[in-house]
Amino acid sequence: MPLEREPLSSGTALSSLADKVDALVGNEVFANVRFECPGYWLESGVKYRAEILFVVQVDLWPNRMFVVTIETYHDAWLTMDTRDREQPEIYAQNAPRLTAALKELAALFGSAPIPGDPNRHATPTEFGFEDPRIEGFAYDDSWGTFEVPGRAGLLERRIPASEDEYEGITDHPVRYFTIQRDGQTLGYLWASTGDEAAGYEPRTALGEVAFEAGAQWLLRLREAHAKGMSALAALSWAAQTSPPADAGLPAEDAPRESPSLDALQELSGRY
């Protein structure tokens, strides 16, 4: 559903839906009306775009009763990022923007927001998040413990199981191609320089599109593995014989090098 500039005013998609709900007979509920909202966060004065910065969910009942839930998919509002590192400058640039937006919503609805439950990264408050530096995180490396395996799981569920796989982790430096489509970076196709590991790191900020493209590149790597290619040979072969156009194309003529897979995952997860 399109999120219009004044979504609650007469004649908008959300208002029309509310009218339909009002016309229902009985105690039915029309739930899970969700808007995926792109947006920007600031870092060193530079704007970076995330395709899903917030998700707004509206649950509607008859008689114009409703609950609005707001989810954020970025750590720019936190004093420590999801890699457990302090980021006071990023927090100072972005947290006031979130607070201002929440206060505007409170004025619109005539009620302050109710904070959600805390998680391993943050404890929500009425108009922002608590500072986790006082007690620290529950895990020393929540990014490596949860987020990276979680992204890999989302990719793997998009393709059939197979034994034609390169190793998915390495301690060696990696070479990689930046995969782009229509000027947007979808992710990074990589291979290890020291062992038989290769894979694809989706650009988290782009959302589902990055994972859909990544599944195509992983299938191409499987094809190379079945042909008996080394990981580095598979990287070059996959870049030269691209999958369907919607999966994007390599942005470079020759691969770049990253000192570690962790550094490349950091790049894909933040920008």
**32-60 pLDDT per residue, tens:** 688 888 899 999 989 998 888 999 988 87
Q: What is the pLDDT of residues 21-37, one digit of tens each?
A: 777 766 665 656 888 88
The DSSP bridge pattern shows strands 124-125 and 128-129 to be antiparallel
Q: Is the pLDDT of residue 200 over 90?
A: yes
Q: Is the pLDDT of residue 139 over 80?
A: no
Determine the Cα angle at 134 with ends 131 and 139, to 5°.
90
Q: Which residue has the tokens 């990719």?
A: 155
Percent of the residues in the chain that have a pLDDT greater than 90, as a whole number:
54
CB 166 within 8 A of CB 231: yes
Altogether, the residues listed in the chain come to a count of 271
234: three-class secondary structure by DSSP:
helix
Best CA proximity match to 36, nearest among 57, 60, 8, 66: 57
Amino acid type, 84: D
Q: Which residue has the tokens 């870049």?
A: 239
> For residue 92, what pLDDT is reported?
96
Q: What are phi and psi of 258, to 5 degrees?
A: -115, 140
Cα dihedral angle (265, 232, 206, 124), rounded to 10 degrees?
A: -20
> For residue 88, what pLDDT is reported?
92
Rounded distance between C-alpha atoms, residue 173 and residue 227, angstroms: 24
